[in-house]
A and B are shown apart, each in its own frame.
Chain A
Amino acid sequence: MIQKLLIANRGEIAIRVIRAAKALGIETLAIFAEQDKDSRHAKVADFSVSLGGGPASQNYLNISKILEIAKKHEVDAIHPGYGFLAESPEFARAVTEEGLKWVGPKAEVIKALGDKLTSREIAEKVGVPTTTGSKDPIGSDDEAKSVARDIGYPVIIKASYGGGGMGIRVVHSEAELIPAIEQTSRQALSAFGNAEVFIEKFIEKPRHIEIQFIADSQGNTIHLGERECSIQRRHQKLIEEAPSTAITQEEREHIGGLVVKLAKEVGYENAGTAEFLYKDGQFYFNEVNTRIQVEHPVTEMVTGKDLVLEQLKIADGKKLSWKQKDIEFRGHAIEMRINAEDPLQNFAPTFGTIKQLSLPGGPGVRFDSHIYAGYSIPRDYDSLLGKLITWGEDRKQSTARAYIAISELAIIGVPTNLPFHRVAIANKNFQQGNLHTNFIEENKIIPYIRIAYNRRVAALFATQYKTRKVFLPIREQSNWRRTALREVVRRL
């Protein structure tokens, strides 16, 4: 039985894991980088230990330091969350060699599925549909040209070890092919330490559909249906939902069954996600994420199952709590990722202190987050501030709740992507479920955000000017601003 769990992560996912562990009566140990000591994950755990300052390589990515803390504080299991070391076979191996329980699949499985060509080979072996593409990394220019010609343009060049939307390039004609391969290869070498690239058919404007699955150490494996994550910007997901408006029950059972076969083939243990592109009734395998995902709550909301709790039980050697027949979708759920990014400034990351926070609530509303009023957003990490998830009996109700909840949520002091969600959720094509990965560009979401924002500025300015009330900004003021404010007050 796991007595004490170390959570090798930060922010909202660390809190999510801590909550699940507490529900099982497991003691929790949080770790934090110095610049992150005010993050709530370091406060809600039973114990928390500093990893020191510096870049992530010296703390959240520092395997030996984390294991040292684990030994010193006598933990018996480690949950990696997502990102950081979650998909590092080296970390998984080091944890188990230390005699600790690892909440995730075995190191060999992470490694095999982490290589895109190997994982595609495994997928093809069990009959999971893939896009046509090169079987091996591209060797010569001639080979590249003949492969691309066989597949048919447009094609996509992918780095074998790429991820997170990096190391991908679309090529529309043979003239662009060789320079694109060279660029991708160069980028892959510097970003992932491996220059291997391969070629696949490019699917234009697909949906992004992924299948959640979970397996125990005895080989019991089930799937928990799909999530649709088509609302993306530069391959970064912004809105996710389940069920997808495009997938029928037959398709769900069929593709879910194939994913279960894939998981069994590699001896998968714990939670994972198989990602697909989907167009015109066809699935195209993309990759397997060997960890819990950011968007796991939408599956939890529609199935009523606690995935992170189950992860801990599985790592403890317990048998899977559910059979396939226990998994049924009820209603519809949406997740909106709340990021410290300004959609009016090309989604540039924003920083600063959250001065006021007003949270939504009510039936079917869930907010997984580590922020609070007074929290300073550190510059060192990704921009995710939290996830606002709503559930409804059907999509109409969940989107209405999403719209009301996102309109109620107020994060004051730092620009966020809240206006993006308010506009996207109310968009006609979103409401009708006409989604694809080019949704944001094709629906003029950003230009509309700007107009709606300017209208509000005009309304607020006119009202304040009329009432002649000067609301002093709470933020720190520079001298010249203070002078100017005094000036205004004096004139009034």
Chain B
Amino acid sequence: MSHPGIKRSMKAQEELKKGKTKQRLVKDLSPSELEEFKAYDIDFSGRTSHLLFNERTGEIIIDDEIYTPTVIDKGDYFEVDVSSHTYKINISSGQMFLDGRLVEFSYVPSVPKLKRKRSGGGNFYEITAPLPGLIVGIHVKPGDEVNEGQKIITLEAMKMQNELVTERAGIVEKIVVQLNQQAETNQLLAVIKIEDT
């Protein structure tokens, strides 16, 4: 008799090899369903990744595949079913164990990255693309005065519209992208000259 963990993994690997693994894909969702998803950044024991989550349905999108875990509170632990796999998750004294193995897991809602750069006579904020996407909205033009938190650019990424805002007040120095342009991760989109304080 093989170890039960080995047996379980072996069976699942065989199913994948034979193409039996059926997973719902993002393309099965309608645009209105997609709009309900919010993006999160994940840190799983030091490995970082992203996912999309629909709070109403409990659906999670990772790598364009849809997972719908069911979580049952068993008192001492949680029993979680995902795609016919069952995991035991134990949370105690701030430590988390997944099937008996110590793990660390945290998530935060994805927010646009804002970079601050020093150059010439003033301070500048650079607004860059947090992930690859399409520029679908430019809400300011060079010379405009902007306030903290004001929308600058809308980036459609991972099938969602992300509003990129400035965290500092200032004057729009330049917009370096055009409407309907494709932006790569970390590509510079706009520069805000920060007001002297």
- Which residues of A are at the interface with B, using a C-beta cutoff of 8 A? 342, 344, 350, 352, 355-356, 358, 396, 399-400, 403-404, 407-415, 422-423, 425-428, 431, 443-444, 447-448, 450-467, 469-475, 480-481, 483-485, 487-488
Mark contacts of B60-89 with chain A using CB atoms, 8 A cut-off: 1 yes-contact digit, 0 otherwise.
101101010111010000101011010101
A463 to B23, CA, bound (A): 20
Question: Shortest Cβ distance from A482 into chain B, in angstroms?
Answer: 9
Question: Is the C-beta of B122 less than 8 angstroms from some C-beta in chain A?
Answer: no
Write 7 A-B pairs (CB below 8 A) sorted by A numbering: A407-B99, A408-B100, A409-B101, A457-B42, A458-B62, A459-B85, A471-B104
CA distance A30 to B23 in the complex (A): 53
0 or 1 for each of B36-48: is its CB under 8 Å from A? (1 = yes): 0000111111110
A contact residues around B46 at 8 Å (CB): 350, 352, 355, 412-415, 475
Inter-chain contact B13/A404, CB cutoff 8 Å: no
Let me know if B6 and A399 touch, CB within 8 A.
yes
- In the complex, which residues of chain B have a beta carbon less than 8 angstroms from the beta carbon of A487? 109, 111
Q: How far is the CA of A171 from the CA of B96 in the complex (A)?
A: 51
Would you call B157 an interface residue if the criterion is a C-beta within 8 Å of the partner chain's C-beta atoms? no
| Secondary structure type dominating chain A contacts | helix
**What CA separation (Å) do A464 and B78 show in the bound complex?**
10
B16 is contacted by which of A451, A456, A488 (Cβ under 8 Å)? A451
Whether the Cβ atoms of A458 and B51 lie closer than 8 Å is yes
Q: Are A428 and B106 in contact (CB under 8 A)?
A: no
From B8, B9, B16, B42, contact of A461 by CB (8 A): B42
Is B121 in contact with chain A by the CB < 8 A criterion?
Answer: no
Which of A444, A452, A463 counts the most B-chain CB atoms under 10 A from its CB? A463
| Interface contact B108-A481, CB-CB below 8 Å | yes
Q: Which residues of the partner chain A approach B105 to less than 8 Å between Cβ atoms?
A: 460-461, 464, 471
Enumerate chain A residues within 8 angstroms of B114, measured Cβ to Cβ. 480
Chain A: CB-nearest residue to B55 = A465
Residue B185 at the A interface, CB < 8 A? no
Q: Does B179 contact A (CB under 8 A)?
A: no
> For residue B14, which residues in chain A have a CB less than 8 angstroms away from its CB?
428
A471 to B106, CA, bound (A): 6
B124 at the interface (CB under 8 A from A): no
Task: Take A451-B16, A462-B58, A469-B91 as given contacts and tell me if A456 and B100 are in contact as well, using a CB distance cutoff of 8 Å.
Answer: no
Q: Are B5 and A464 in contact (CB under 8 A)?
A: no
B94 interface contact, C-beta 8 A: yes
Of the candidates A400, A410, A443, A457, the one whose C-beta lies within 8 Å of that of B49 is A457
Closest to A487 in B: B109
Q: Do B108 and A410 touch across chains, with their CB atoms under 8 A apart?
A: no
A405 to chain B, nearest CB (A): 11
14 further A-B pairs in the complex, CB-CB below 8 A; given A461-B42, A463-B69, A473-B106: A352-B46, A404-B3, A407-B101, A408-B100, A410-B45, A414-B46, A426-B6, A426-B8, A427-B10, A431-B2, A459-B69, A464-B105, A471-B94, A481-B41
Closest to A470 in B: B106
Contact B85 A455, beta carbon cutoff 8 Å? yes
- Find out whether the CB atom of B113 lies under 8 angstroms from the CB atom of A443: no
8 smallest CB-CB distances across A and B, nearest first, come from A426-B9, A458-B67, A462-B69, A410-B102, A400-B3, A459-B80, A415-B47, A454-B62
Residues 17 to 65 of chain B near chain A (Cβ within 8 Å)? 17, 21, 23, 40-47, 49, 51, 53, 55, 58, 60, 62-63, 65
